[in-house]
Amino acid sequence: MAQIIVVTSGKGGVGKTTSSAAIATGLALKGHKTVVVDFDIGLRNLDLIMGCERRVVYDFVNVINGEANLNQALIKDKRTPNLFVLPASQTRDKDALTKEGVGRVLENLGKDFEYIICDSPAGIETGAMMALYFADTAIVTTNPEVSSVRDSDRILGMLQSKSKRAEEGLAPVNEYLLLTRYSPARVATGEMLSVADVEEILAIPLLGVIPESQAVLKASNSGIPVIIDQESDAGKAYSDAVARLTGEEVEMRFVNEEKKGFLKRIFGS
């Protein structure tokens, strides 16, 4: 049976779609048949980050409405075997998503895939609530700033009360924290919250810490998930997070400021 994982947040612009693309790619690279579904109806950014925007013919809403089947709408990733994308519609509004329709699509995907990654819009509007409703696992994505963490705490409340698991009295949704755009140097100067601060506020297990990195922007502009770039700290951090998600024990990197050696202090990097 497929594991449904929602990548969610309370605040926009924290890196959910980047994280969804990276995590889905990382799972596929480990040999797991994975599909990533864009729930951001009306905007549709996932296909850009995955580099498949020109190949979108049918979308999630077309499948819900019976205007296309999954085979027609799913896009096979060019780089990674076992990875598929189900894009969102740019021309419909979020009311096009219904519990019955979304549930039916996820059930059908579950017959063929090990992991279903749901790329949620920010906040608690229809698309976001649909994405988190069916989740088995939630990756709550936040930046180390007070407003982002506060809004993420609200999402945790929604997961614990509004999910299908909560409604049916099943085991609760597994919750993980993914901390993005983290800079130990800025933590040291008091410009952002530390990992410990965020963990204390949200009180959920830490899945990964993604450092601030130009590689993220470069990857997004190139249509290549940043996890592919294993020369970058961000790519390595996402690989670590995927390893933890699949049960491996991996040391948490990129949490502390790197101490520069004598030559680096003199000549720079």
Numbered residues of the known binding site for ATP: 11-18
Cα radius of gyration (the chain): 18
Q: What are phi and psi of 38, to 5 degrees?
A: -90, 115
Separation of alpha carbons 251 and 244, rounded Å: 9
In this structure, are strands 75-76 and 83-86 parallel, antiparallel, or unpaired?
Answer: antiparallel
Q: Tokens 């995955």 label which residue?
A: 50
- Residue 58: both structure tokens together: 């049918």
Is the separation of the CB atoms in 118 and 144 below 8 Å? no
Separation of alpha carbons 131 and 141, rounded Å: 14
Q: What are phi and psi of 89, to 5 degrees?
A: -90, 140
The angle, 0 to 180 degrees and rounded to 10, between the axes of the packed helices 126-133 and 146-162 is 60
Q: Quick one: CA dihedral 40, 41, 43, 46, positive or negative?
A: positive
Query: Cα–chain-centroid distance for residue 43?
Result: 16
Nearest C-alpha neighbor of 8 from the set 171, 170, 174: 174
List CB contacts of 95: < 8 A, sequence separation 6 or more: 126
Binding region: 11-18
Residue type, 138: A
Is the separation of the CB atoms in 166 and 35 below 8 Å? no
